[in-house]
Chain A
Amino acid sequence: MNLMAIIIINVLISFLFGSILLGFHRKIMARIQLRPGPPIIQYFLHSLKFFFKETAFPKTASMPFYLSIVCILCGIWIAAIIIGPVLKGSLLLLFAIYAVYKIVEHNAGSSSGSPYGKMSCVRAVFSASSELPLFAVIAIIYLQVGSMNISDIINYQSIHGPLILKLPLVAIVLFVLILSKSPYSPFGITKGKDIISGYETEHFGLMRGYIMLSDSISWYMLSWMFLTIFFGNLSVLSYVVGMLVIAFLTGLINATTPILNPNHSVMSQISMALIGLLGSLLLMFFVF
């Protein structure tokens, strides 16, 4: 099949299914808080609706950077789709994409000139210092499998069984990373309600819709990455069930946990990364 067609189909699936998953996540949070909540399809409808809204540009926005940063945000997640589901390439490249994503979050905050955006921009640097160590536990996967390539990881699991049984602590640490990317996360300091919507505060109308579209793609991508790394080559139905379970668990945690302040968020994430890293090494050398 044509390569561009494969990429476009994957991007469409990730947007459609990612937005449904985020809608499901919101529904779970609402039900736990004894609210009916919006329909599951609401996130998807909102993403489209904003494309038709009137958009104003703040006086202090640095154009065209203010506009192009949302484009870059979408571009990096499309790159992740190419490396992940399309090519089944290197985890190291996905790590690099996540690092660039934190830089984009930082720049989106500073591009509008809003004080809330600037606060979020500073917090994006804080969160990078904790989320990147969380992602760095993929080094343990390299020690276990001997390769960073997703296709090799899948092959390894088809012979030796799912990695989640061998590296449970690494799975927990990567789950915390996904949790910190979920909406209303206890670790979501860049979008904390104390700074309105963080870096998205002054991105409304068209640009809000565009950011929501990129968020849907990133949510799908991170869920796909988690399931593929720890469960191997799954069927389409297993991916759907797995992604729904991840959305359910993150929704459950987010609905019952307050947003931590930046210090607590960073310190708890770094602690989890350290425990995951050292604990996995101990498990590898003394148990398995």
Chain B
Amino acid sequence: MRDLVKYGYTTLTISTLLISYCLIFNPESWIVYSIAIVFIPLFILSLGLITMATPEKDEEEDRINEPFIGY
């Protein structure tokens, strides 16, 4: 779970940099489209990974790798 938050920060940095690059330098269209299709979703996902609540230390084992419930 902690690793996911770390990945979240890394992805957020990369996607913010690339989106800012397109906003500032206005590169060729195909580069903008590629960055938009790949990195806008990654930007949103990384925001989610950072903002999602993480379990307490002692509860962590019960929460990760949750088996299916309800069937």
Contacts and interface: CB of A to CB of B under 8 A. Distances in A.
B6 interface: no
Interface string B24-43: 00100100110111101110
Given A5-B23, A53-B53, A209 B37 contact: no
A259 B67 CA distance: 30
B31 to A, nearest CB: 10
Query: DSSP class of A's interface residues: helix, strand, loop or mixed?
Result: helix
B26 A213 contact: no
Contacts of A283: none
Interface of B: 19, 22-23, 26, 29, 32-33, 35-38, 40-42, 44-45, 47-49, 51-55, 63-68, 70-71
A202 B38 CA distance: 24
Nearest to B62: A56
Interface residues of A, number: 36
Contacts of B52: 51-55, 205-206
Contacts of B32: 3-4, 7
A137 to B, nearest CB: 27
A57 B38 contact: no
B66 A206 contact: no
Interface stretch (A72-80, A128-136, A236-244): A72-80
Leading 6 A-B pairs by shortest Cβ distance: A4-B22, A56-B66, A74-B41, A54-B53, A206-B48, A206-B52
A210 B40 CA distance: 12
Contacts of B65: 56-59
Contacts of B33: 79, 82
Contact of A3 (B26, B49, B53): B26
30 contacts: A2-B23, A3-B22, A3-B26, A3-B32, A4-B35, A4-B36, A52-B52, A52-B53, A53-B52, A53-B53, A54-B52, A54-B63, A55-B52, A58-B65, A67-B45, A71-B41, A71-B42, A74-B40, A74-B41, A75-B41, A79-B33, A82-B33, A114-B68, A116-B71, A206-B48, A206-B52, A209-B48, A210-B44, A210-B45, A210-B48
A71 B11 CA distance: 13
Contact of A78 (B23, B40, B47): B40
- Residue among A52, A60, A74 facing the most chain B CB atoms (10 A cut-off): A74
